[in-house]
Amino acid sequence: MPSFADLSEPVISELRKRRSIKWWWNFVGRTDEEIRKAREEWMTSDRFGEVKGYDGDRLPAPKVPVAHLKARGRVR
């Protein structure tokens, strides 16, 4: 699944209409596991690239809550 940064607002809107998605911090996924994997990749890899013009260290993502994440958008 592409990272949130790769998705335009119209694409996100369409995803919300078509399926149940979960959105936490800056990550979008279909399952809690996808969100946890994205967080892990954010913290340990360069999958998400860098922010041009930002000189500081990468911001750490908060830990994913233990509870199941609630789906956003319209569920059919």
pLDDT: is 10 or 14 the higher one? 10
Q: What is the pLDDT of residue 2?
A: 54
Long-range contacts of 56-65 (CB under 8 A, 24+ apart): 61/25, 61/26, 61/27, 62/25, 63/39, 64/24, 64/32, 64/35, 64/36, 64/39, 65/24
pTM over the 0.75 mark: no
Q: What is the pLDDT of residue 38?
A: 93
Q: What is the pLDDT of residue 73?
A: 63
Q: Please compute the mean of the pLDDT values over residues 55-73 and round it to a whole number.
A: 85
8 Å CB contact between 22 and 1: no
